[in-house]
Amino acid sequence: MKRYFLIPQDSFICINHFKMKKATALSGILVLLIFSLYAQDNKSGLIKNWQIEPTFNFRYFNITTFSEGENIDFLNYPESESGEPFYYAFLGFAARVEFNNNIKVALNAALYDHADPALIEFNAGYFPKNRWGITTGATMFSYLSNDFSSFHRKKYPDFDGNLHNNFQQRTRFLSAFYAGVEYFYPGGKTMLSVKLQAGFGGHHAFEEKLQQKQILSNYKEIIHYKTSYHFSPVFYPSIEFQQQLINAKSLTMGVSIRGSLFYTFTAINYQQTIFQWTYENKSVKEVDSENHPFIKADGSLGFFIRW
């Protein structure tokens, strides 16, 4: 007999942990790359300067929500209630290497206090002219999504959905790849950088399973959602200001302030499978959701050491 196995709900937590491990491993590889560059530099003199920086970050999310229709729209359930903007504060780390051949490479990584990756970003810039350059990079971040099962409680009032762990908070991940231009103003003790970048990005694919039983009835069903990666255009400008405070021989220390805006118009499309009574009795449909304006604004304050 053919049987259908769904991923148990608990394993979604494991998937998130798996992604976190993958992200941590990626950051580790990049840090190792930087250290190997550092080791190489003693021989070749390729590198102009190094900069490392602990940062305090502040993040604002605004995901526009719409009224629910016939099918669930996962973007209607951000962490805040009733679609209000929501905020995070977290600590991070930034590292930057400036090469002698007008190339700059930067890595930003940060973790939320609930241990999900807040930001992993890799950026490279080439400056053929003194103040103008082209940049490219990739970014990944996450946010929390709340109680999407309230959709089912409203849609099926005669069902008891209070089964299993239908009501857990979920971490949603987004990635984007981008390119753009950078204006770089190297003042005496100050530095200003403005980037205008655009690219493509979207939510990582995920799966959700919801179990429900009709009250005063034997009827049971499982609703299984499987989303797919959906590319949307992304607009991603950023600005950075640095102020030197201490300059001693080859070592420079100072503070930096960064700000960025991640704007996209995105949707989470999915395949919905409803298993009724048994796993053999199922119906499948593809659902295209509406595009939502999605805004993430990041601000950070850092203390940098450059040598």
Partner 1 sequence: MKNIKKIGLILCFTFIIKIMASCIFPGEAPIFSFYPDKLRIQLLNNNHTYLSESEEDSLSRNAVALSLIITEKREMAGLSMKRMEVFAPVLATSPPDPEYIIENPVTRIRVVSLFSVNEEVTAGTDVTNMFLFGDRQEFLYVTQAFALENQFAEPYPEPAIGFDMFLKPVVENDTAQFAIQVVLEDETVLSDTTGFIHLY
**Site membership for partner 1, residue 280 (CB under 8 A):** yes
Cα distances (angstroms) measured from residue 217 to each of 26, 49, 220, 275, 277: 50, 71, 8, 16, 11
Q: Which is nearer to partner 1, 10 or 113 (CB)?
A: 10
User: Which stretch in 74-82, 129-137, 260-268, 273-281 sits in contact with partner 1 by CB under 8 A?
Assistant: 273-281
Near partner 1 in 227-246, by CB under 8 A: none
Q: Which two tokens stand for residue 118?
A: 């807040």
Burial class (CB in 10 A: 0-12, 13-18, 19+), 92: buried
Name the nearest CA neighbour of 197 among 286, 123, 301, 100: 123
Q: Minimal distance in Å, beta carbon 4 to partner 1?
A: 9
**Site membership for partner 1, residue 277 (CB under 8 A):** yes
Sign of the Cα torsion 22, 24, 25, 27 reads positive
Q: Minimal distance in Å, beta carbon 216 to partner 1?
A: 5
**Site membership for partner 1, residue 1 (CB under 8 A):** yes
**Site membership for partner 1, residue 77 (CB under 8 A):** no
The H or E element that residue 84 is part of is none
**Site membership for partner 1, residue 214 (CB under 8 A):** yes
What is the rounded distance in angstroms from the CA atom of residue 120 to the CA atom of residue 132? Answer: 25
User: What mask, x for binding partner 1 by CB under 8 A, covers residues 138 to 177?
Assistant: ----------------------x-xxx-------------
| Footprint of partner 1 (CB under 8 A) | 1, 3, 160, 162-164, 211, 213-222, 275, 277-280
